[in-house]
Amino acid sequence: MTRAAALLLPLWVPLWAALAQPPTPESVLGHKPGDDFFLASYDESLGYFRKLAQSTDKLKLVHVGKTTRGLDWYIAVISSPENLASLDKYKDTARRLALVKGLTDAQAHELAHNGKVMVHIDGGLHATEVAAAQHTIQLAYDLVSGSDPETAFILNNDILLLWFSINPDGQNQVVSWYRRNLGTPYEVSEPPQVYQEYIGHDNNRDGYMNNMIESQVITRAELEYYPQVFYNHHQTAPFPARIWIPPFGDPVSLNPHPLMYRWVNVFGTAMAAWLDEHDMPGAMHRGRFDDWYPGFVDHVNNFRNTVSFLTETALYRFATPHFYTVDDFPAQRRDLRTEVFYSSPWRGGWWRLGDAVRYMLGASMAVLDTAAKNREELLYTRYRAGKDVVDRFTKDPPYAYVIPRVQRDRGEAAVLVEKLMTDGIEVHQASRAFRSGAHEYAEGDWVVLMDQPFAALVKELFDLQKYPELPGPPPVAGTAAEGAGGRGAGGGRGAGAGAQAAAAAPQPTPAAATPAPAAQGAGGRGAGRGAPAGEPQTPPGQVPYDVTGWTLPLQMGVEVSAIAEPVGPDARAVLRKVERVEPIAGKVEGSGPVLAFSHNTNASLKAVNDLLAAGASVSWSKSDGTWYAPGSAASILQKDGVDATSLKEAPAAWPVKKPRIAIYEPWGSPIDEGWTRWILEQYHFPFTVLHNEDVERGHLRENFDSFVIAEIGARQAMEGMATGTVPGQYAGGLGETGAQALRDFVTAGGTLVTLGNASLFAIEQFNLAVNNVVAGLRQDQFFCSGSLLRTEAGQASHPVLAGLPATPVVMFERNPVFETRREFRGKTLLSYPKDRNPLLSGFLLGAARMEGKAAALDANYGEGHIILLGFRPQWRGQSHGTYKFLFNALFYNPSMAPEESGGGRGGRGGNPQQAAWRREAEAVKTELTRLLDRNRAYFTARGPNAVEEGKALEAALDAFQRDRIPALEDLRAQVEDAAASRAEASWLAQLRKFAVDLRTKDFSSAKVDDLMEEYKLVVVP
Ligand SMILES: [Zn+2]
């Protein structure tokens, strides 16, 4: 329509009709989406979508919320004009089918027949995977401008919820980074900071927890539109595939309705076929992309009966093209053979952003086409799956979960309830006490009735996970003995743990009932899952793609119980549906001048920070961690949900200073550092972010009391991003200068807190007498890529353990396991249980290697301390139950350190007899050093001198064996603890063996520490 013609139209014609054809992307952006070296930012993309919306009645822009950095966030709803005019009606249809309640099958069929299928497609939330947010621009244009019957068919049957950017902040950030570097040697450099505020690449792993604002916006929209299909774009294809498409690899989650995976597979196969039909070869299925972790932004929706999946299109870097030859391919794929899940192998050549955009357009169109062709069935499936879930938990337990209102940390119980409600789960609360079966529940207890359509998600989050052992390639060849040594992982553990765990006893999973797979691999290893505890086990045939265990009540330290019998009408009559979780107000009793409050709640830490910020004086009990504050603190405590009682005066207590906290932020998108910042903000800890040069400048102690290094590899901390790969100011790590500044900081009384593998940085750079007993082990010897493990607190009165339970559950994700050497100075804070597999949820191979070993240490260094936490105390903002390890450490200072015990080895119980034994045994090293000198003198002597040295060695060893060893034997005999005595006996046997060898073996080039290691004498039992 020409401009002149438009002017002639009558006034009542809607505005869009008066406008010209939809503008092409290139007419607005100056480029076609996918052009080499061009990326549209979110702002530019939104500008285009605004123009597009003005030009058509097939697209509506909808404001869905704001981003963390404050951008206005829109999605485009695209369909036929008629469908959009009735959008509210179709939303209502989708909602009613999803929620099931009140519908008969016939009514559901009727709704499905008349409904439209809602399809979520997005521009990818990993902002460096750039093609997705470019393809959405073209997709929108193609759909609203297409006049072919195929497009019309799609628009008539589908309502597309197009998240043209599902990470607007990140899209702007990455595009501006790329533009800055374009044409420089750093054109393809990775951005140095996270591309979504706080959590970067973890932004698609916050699905059920919804910690981030972005996750909340997405989940809220899914619970407004109730799409039947959810398609999330990514760009990490397994090379040389051009796109990875479902079916997923095994294992997949156990709880989604089976129809979800059936339909995921239908969509996957349809996408690959579409691409092949349109001359886009190279689609691959299955492989390493399993579907086990329910926190993925797509996958979580399968538990709400939305058919949900992702694809991974190939990416070089940003908008820069790259040429590949077959020689670049992995050896096993150079023959370009046809495979069942890769039937059109890619043959190499150029790969440009435009190719990725083209493949994504094809995949998105295939999804829209498949959805349109199966419209009615997909709509009915949403209803059918929800109805089946309701039926499942009407017939089988758990019939409900109860979250008691009275808890060790009741604030966290309320947080758990809030999380469930954000996820679309209906929660009730008991208006008075009620009975179900043999159990009595209290007024105020929260109840999750499981006969609701999304209950599979609750089961998934509350169950103990047992990662299935899958038949796979034989493990890497190793010695059979070592394989067998890694005994007793998931096997017989899960079922037994159920009764003891805070989480409700899980139902046996289908896999648990399956006969064990045949033994595989060398040495006849590998009884399957379900094998009795202690049987040899194989490592997983395939490495899990993400974590293996996440049981939310265990992570959050919240007690939850399952109701194992149907909830009858009497019990239901007292339940009231919770519309929102009211903030808990603290109760303050009495009117004395001092208020005492428990350290058990995370809220107490937030309150302390609020009190310190308000200038109140706070102190911390030396015996049990109780907090004390002046009477004027009452209003803050009430607001923060902390109960307090008043006292006449505070007992012996440490004064608490407002902590001056530094957190190290390496360049290179440090996800765990971001999570740590986010959590500190949630609990009102003030902190300062330091980069390499800030640390290297030194003088840290003048400005800070504590210094946090979040999860990072030791080498990565030292070396950072390689020189030449990023603009100069971002290259390098802490380096020797930074490490020395940190040593100076701790020497002068600072507290260094290291999380997870950052502890290895501290051990190396501070030369701590700590070994990582799982260092260098192969995956068939030790493997734990994210599981919940049981630990035991060593020194109940240590300030870092204040408020924590005696047996904390920790998230262990490829972390170190500590063993202190005899010269270690400090305390063992936390250990893995002795003689018992620590696994509670997930997968652990090689459990025996951690039994009795340390999980957390307080190492003395100079005037200060290093708190080494060998696990992830704040993992993804989920491990609320272990936040206090981090929080307490931030308040910890030398004045609070427990007295050093004899020998400086903390964390050991014992009585005077055992102490005497240990003192003497530890003193043996001096003598062994002397004896080794004699051994060296003898073996390096020549001629007559050798005879003399030989005699001297004989005499020294005679005396040692005649006097020293029997004296130790006497001390050992007085030790009453049978297990300790046994351990001491075997240590003495090793000592005897060493003495014998010192006579006959040439140790002249050996070091005493190495020999003590070799003879297993380092750790005195
Ligand atoms: Zn991705």
Output phi, psi for 630, to 5 deg: -70, 160
In the chain, % helix, strand, coil (3-state, to 5) comes to 40, 15, 40
Structural tokens at position 794 = 């060593």
Using CA atoms, how far apart are residues 620 and 600, in angstroms rounded to an integer? 13
pTM of structure = 0.82
Cα 32 to ligand 1 centre (Å): 23
Using CA atoms, how far apart are residues 78 and 140, in angstroms rounded to an integer? 8
Is residue 129 helix, strand or coil?
Answer: coil
Cα 1008 to ligand 1 centre (Å): 50
Cα 349 to ligand 1 centre (Å): 23
Q: What is the pLDDT of residues 340-386, one digit of tens each?
A: 999 999 999 999 999 999 999 999 999 999 999 999 999 999 999 99
Cα 876 to ligand 1 centre (Å): 17
Q: What is the pLDDT of residue 548?
A: 97
Cα 190 to ligand 1 centre (Å): 14
Low-confidence ranges of the chain (pLDDT < 70): 1-20, 470-541, 900-912, 915
Cα 167 to ligand 1 centre (Å): 12
Using CA atoms, how far apart are residues 553 and 497, in angstroms rounded to an integer? 14
Q: What is the pLDDT of residue 540?
A: 63
Q: Give just the sign of the alpha carbon dihedral 926, 928, 932, 933.
A: positive
Q: What is the pLDDT of residues 383-406, one digit of tens each?
A: 999 999 999 999 999 999 999 999
Cα 129 to ligand 1 centre (Å): 6
Q: What is the pLDDT of residue 472?
A: 55
Cα 234 to ligand 1 centre (Å): 4
Number of Cβ within 10 Å of residue 974's Cβ equals 13
Using CA atoms, how far apart are residues 973 and 968, in angstroms rounded to an integer? 9
Cα 165 to ligand 1 centre (Å): 14
The answer to whether 108 touches 183, Cβ cutoff 8 Å, is no
Picking from 586, 756, 610, 582, the residue whose alpha carbon sits closest to that of residue 682 is: 610
Distances (CA, A) of 995 to 798, 940, 973: 39, 19, 21
Q: What is the pLDDT of residue 565?
A: 95
Cα 307 to ligand 1 centre (Å): 19
Is residue 75 helix, strand or coil?
Answer: strand
DSSP letter string, 906-973: -S----HHHHHHHHHHHHHHHHHHHHHHHHHHHHH--THHHHHHHHHHHHHHHHIIIIIHHHHHHHHH
Cα 689 to ligand 1 centre (Å): 27
Q: What is the pLDDT of residue 543?
A: 83
Cα 337 to ligand 1 centre (Å): 27
The answer to whether 241 touches 282, Cβ cutoff 8 Å, is yes
Using CA atoms, how far apart are residues 620 and 433, in angstroms rounded to an integer? 36
Chain position carrying tokens 């936490």: 869
Cα 236 to ligand 1 centre (Å): 6
Interstrand relation of 158-163 and 117-122 (parallel, antiparallel or unpaired): parallel
Cα 313 to ligand 1 centre (Å): 9
Cα 442 to ligand 1 centre (Å): 45
Cα 126 to ligand 1 centre (Å): 5
What is the identity of the amino acid at 674?
G
Is residue 565 helix, strand or coil?
Answer: coil
Cα 232 to ligand 1 centre (Å): 9
Cα 235 to ligand 1 centre (Å): 5
Cα 986 to ligand 1 centre (Å): 52
Classify residue 266 as exposed, middle or buried by CB count within 10 Å of its CB (0-12, 13-18, 19+).
middle
The answer to whether 843 touches 540, Cβ cutoff 8 Å, is yes
Output phi, psi for 847, to 5 deg: -55, -35
The answer to whether 281 touches 345, Cβ cutoff 8 Å, is yes
Q: Return the percentage of the chain with pLDDT > 90, whole number.
A: 76
